Structure 1
Amino acid sequence: MPTIYKIFRDSEFQPLLAKGRTDGAPVDLADGFIHLSTGDQVRETAAKHFNGEDGLHLLALDADSLGDALEWEPSRGGALFPHLYRALHLDDLLWHKPLPLEEGTHNFSGLL
């Protein structure tokens, strides 16, 4: 069961909690899929796309449970990134936790 991750700002996470599903953040809507990261990629994703942002949520998903809607496609430097080609459902989550910002850096200790 490979675990993959999504980072949401609070304003993106709250609609998922309220509605039970989301089509993703603005970047996901623009690209036509939900951007996800592996455990090896998620720290770089946080640094590159959420640098210095507080109030983030880290969501964990089981890649195998997403079926054919999950595709692995080349992105940064040719690395394969998981992309979800359907709505993300609250039931898809293994867990979700705050992603703390400490001294300007996101602290993944105890999360991955």
Structure 2
Amino acid sequence: MLIYKIFRAPEWQHLAETGQTDGAPIDLADGYIHFSTATQAEETAAKHFAGAEGLILAAVDAAPLGDDLKWEVSRGGAEFPHLYRPLRLEDVTWHEDLPLVDGAHVFPDRMS
């Protein structure tokens, strides 16, 4: 199963250059890296990245993350994937730009 992380451009650049990241400021504050499932990603973008341009969507295979990935209840009682270790560039299966069109982020077809 693929899970998804939305990055601002500087956050993605840091991961690409250093090979790992502890996440965005909210991830650092919460002590884990926030991910979304395919069905949760659009709501995550709308809630936390409304109007933001220059975003990158990264897909990560959940299985190799093992016990470092926990499914925890969050927004609306839904379980969200949380990673309790740095995300490594090698964990990323694929990434794409997440364009903003008419005020909404357009997700890639390969997510469905």
TM-score surpassing 0.5? yes
More helix by share: 2
For 1:64-103, what aligned pairs fall within 5 Å after superposition? 64-103=63-102
CA distance in 2, matches of 1:111, 1:55: 20
CA distance in 2, matches of 1:6, 1:109: 13
1:49-102 CA-partner distances (Å, limit 9, x unpaired): 000100000000001111100000000111000000000000000001100100
CA distance in 1, matches of 2:62, 2:108: 22
CA distance in 1, matches of 2:59, 2:19: 15
Q: Which residue pairs with 2:2 in the alignment? A: 3
**For residue 18 of structure 1, what is the amino acid of its counterpart?**
E
1:1-59 CA-partner distances (Å, limit 9, x unpaired): x1100000001110000000000000000000000000010000000000010000000
Q: Which residue pairs with 1:60 in the alignment? A: 59
Cα drift, residue 110 of structure 1:
2.0
Cα drift, residue 109 of structure 1:
3.9
Instruction: Give the alignment's TM-score, normalised by structure 1.
Output: 0.97
Unpaired stretches in structure 2, ≥5 consecutive residues = none
**For residue 90 of structure 2, what is the amino acid of its counterpart?**
D
Unpaired stretches in structure 1, ≥5 consecutive residues = none
For 1:23-38, what aligned pairs fall within 5 Å after superposition? 23-38=22-37
Cα drift, residue 111 of structure 1:
4.2
